[in-house]
Amino acid sequence: MLQLHHYDPSYNDIFKRESEKIAKLLVGDYLIEHIGSTAIPGTDGKGVVDIIVAFNSIEEMLSAIIILEKHYHFIDDKVDRDTRIFMTSSEKDSGEGDIHLHLVLKDSDDYNDAILFRDYLIKHQDAKQAYVNLKYDIQKNITNDRAEYTKHKADFIHNIIALAKTNSHYGAKH
């Protein structure tokens, strides 16, 4: 069964350590952000630390991949994404404390939506709690299928992003 973990403040330490490692590996102009449940204090989840690295161009992203593939593994991301490269610190199924890297373009919806979602849930405790409750409800009805788990969260995530975009404070691109 898919395992959910209670939020652990050490996720921020893992992010900081990993982002420093990435910053030492890469050159150029890019952004590194902590996203996903581990970036939202008090949010239970899989315990995987999601890091988004945003680049100015495809060329910069491709150059970074050459460096990052010596330290991370490509995995088959079954989630429908546009120009998102997905890498992980683990060759096997990821568990608590593992790293997922999402390489995107700075002006992409993937980047902007991830930041909007994170920031909205940090600011809106009711939405954050609804997200946590949804995760536990999904967990009861699926086995170990992460793609299915992600698919069941999609409508909720899209609705939160839409709410964030209609809020003037969140409407500006980062």
What CATH number does the domain containing 92 carry? 3.30.460.10
127-152 mean pLDDT? 89
Residue 1 within a domain = no
Residue 137 within a domain = yes
Residue 113 within a domain = yes
Confidence grade of residue 78 (pLDDT, cut at 50, 70, 90)? very low
Tens digit of each residue's pLDDT (9 = 90 or more) over 9-45: 999 999 999 999 999 999 889 999 999 999 999 999 9
SS3 letters across the chain: CCCCECCCCHHHHHHHHHHHHHHHHCCCCEEEEEECHHHCCCCCECCCEEEEEEECCHHHHHHHHHHHCCCCEECCCCCCCCCCEEEECCCCCCCCCCEEEEEEECCCHHHHHHHHHHHHHHHCHHHHHHHHHHHHHHHHHCCCCHHHHHHHHHHHHHHHHHHHHHCHHHHCCC
Total domains in the fold of the chain: 1
Residue 3 within a domain = no
Residue 5 within a domain = no
Q: What is the pLDDT of residue 102?
A: 93
Q: Is the pLDDT of residue 120 over 80?
A: yes
Question: Do the Cβ atoms of 117 and 157 come closer than 8 Å?
Answer: yes
Residue 26 within a domain = yes
Residue 127 within a domain = yes
Structural domain for 67, as ranges: 10-171
